[in-house]
Amino acid sequence: MRLLRLAPLILLALAPSPPAARAEGPRPEGLRVLFIGNSFTRFHGLPRMVSRLAEHDLGAPRLRAEVETRAGCTLRRHWIGRRAVRRIRSGAYTHVVLQGHSLRPIDRPDELEDYARRFEGEIERAGARTVLYATWARKGGSRFYRRRGEELPDPAAMQGRIDRVYGRLAHDLDAALAPVGRAWLGASERHPDLSLHGRDGIHPTIAGKNLSACVLYGAITGMSHEGIA
């Protein structure tokens, strides 16, 4: 799927601030980005896709993406393991993307906020910028919603909970916010035939990965993905 097909969906789903204009001439100084998370970050090579967007956007800085991911990992486990912290301290990153476990905003929001704050302290001391990767809700009709009953009856309810937690965190930490889940929800509502969830109803398809990459690209660079083939 070409990224251009996703462009109007993302612009409708994201915050109203306009994207930065494309510049002509030499590329700006490069960015070095560390992605910390789990399979929602690593699936289908999402960080590489973000760097590829920068490669093909002549007005954007070059972007080197590195990853620190483990399957099912929470920010708490990353913190306790210390490897991610050591990389932040020694990696000379310009940005660090934090992706918490997809269910922590639902079941343990206090834990997610606590460890995001701990990481943000390390990121700030290292002179980098924190980017919060707000993930997506489970696919509609999955057993997850039947088990949750009236508490979380559908993806809109789950996404609302996720967005409130990450939105509050971004405000409190003065961090950049990548509202990936909001973009997924908007795209799914407008184009129900667009398959963003994989067969498990949890992880992304290639299209889901592409949409996520576009949102993260905007949050990191402040630029739009539009016009990038």
Cβ 119 vs Cβ 98: under 8 Å: yes
Is pTM beyond 0.85? Reply is yes
- Token pair of 59, please? 């007005």
Instruction: Enter the DSSP assignment of 103.
Output: T
pLDDT means per 10 residues, the chain with 229 residues, are 48 42 55 98 97 90 96 97 98 97 98 98 98 97 93 96 98 98 96 95 97 97 79
Q: How do 176-178 and 95-98 pair as beta strands?
A: unpaired
pLDDT at 229: 63
SS3 sequence of 146-209: HHHCCCCCCHHHHHHHHHHHHHHHHHHHCCEEECHHHHHHHHHHHCCCCCCECCCCCCECHHHH
